[in-house]
Amino acid sequence: MIHHISIAAEHPQHVAEVLAELWQGRAYPFPMYPDSYIAFAGDDYGTAIEVYPLGSELIPGRTDLPDLQADQTSARFSATHAAVSVPLNQQQIEQIAAREGWQTLLGNRGPFFQVVELWVENRVLLELLTPEMAEQYKAFSTPANWEQLVLTAPLS
C-alpha cells in the first residue's frame, strides 16, 4: 500500500488543489517545506500527494526530515509517475484537465487495463483509474498474473 507520493510542480498550490478536486478531497499547505502543499484523498488510508516547487530535491542526512533543496537545473520531465484511483469518470477527468490546459488521453495498457493519462502541468504523468478501470487494474495486477506475463512475454 502506498500512502503518499511527492511530485514537483511549477505551481504547487494550484496543482495540489486540482489533485484534491480529482479525488473529491482537500488540499492544505505542507508546513514541513516552504511553498509546498499536500492533496488528501480523504480515504481510510491517508492517501495523499505532496507537491513541492519545481526543482526540489530531497536530500538525506537529517533525522527528522530530509532536507529540501532547490536545483534550478533539474529536468522538466521525470520517469516518476503513479497510478491513482479517483471517484470520477473519464469525462469528468477530461473536463478538469481541459479547464487546466493539461493533456489527457486514454491509455491502453495492453489487453490488461486502461488508464486516463493526466499530464499534470503537461510534464508529470498520473495514470488515473476511474472506478471501473481500478477494478480492471486490481483484477490484472497480481503476482500470479505478472509471473505469467513475464514467463510468456518476449524479451526485448
Enumerate the H helices of 38-130 as residue ranges.
90-100
Say yes or no: 56 and 126 in one domain: no
Per mean pLDDT, which range of 2-6, 53-57, 77-81 is the poorest?
77-81
Name the pairing type of β-strands 4-9 and 48-53.
parallel
Phi/psi for 118 (5° steps) reads -110, 120
Q: What is the dihedral of CA 145, 132, 118, 53, to 10 degrees?
A: -80
Domain containing residue 141? 76-156
What local confidence, expressed as pLDDT, does residue 156 receive? Answer: 57
Percentage of the chain beyond pLDDT 70 is: 96
Report whether pLDDT(155) > 70: no
What average pLDDT score do residues 89-116 get? Answer: 95
- Per-residue pLDDT, averaged over 141-147, amounts to 90
**For residues 76 and 54, what is the distance between their CA atoms, to the nearest angstrom?**
8
| CA–CA distance, 126 with 137 (Å, rounded to integer) | 15
Are 109 and 155 within one domain? Answer: yes
Across the range 117-138, mean pLDDT stands at 96
What SS3 state is found at 23? helix
Question: Do 63 and 127 fall within a single domain?
Answer: no
pLDDT of residue 154: 67
Contact 50, 35 (CB under 8 A): no
- pLDDT at residue 19 in the model: 98
Instruction: Based on the fold, state whether residues 100 and 151 are members of the same structural domain.
Output: yes
Per mean pLDDT, which range of 1-10, 58-67, 133-142 is the poorest? Answer: 58-67
Q: What is the mean pLDDT of residues 47-76?
A: 84
Q: Are residues 102 and 148 in the same domain?
A: yes
- Residue 38 binned pLDDT confidence (cut-offs 50, 70, 90): very high
pLDDT band at 150 (very low <50, low <70, confident <90, very high): confident
How far, in whole angstroms, is CA 56 from its chain's centroid? 17
Q: How many domains does the chain have?
A: 2
Q: Last residue of a domain, which of 59, 74, 89?
A: 74
Has residue 142 got a pLDDT over 80? yes
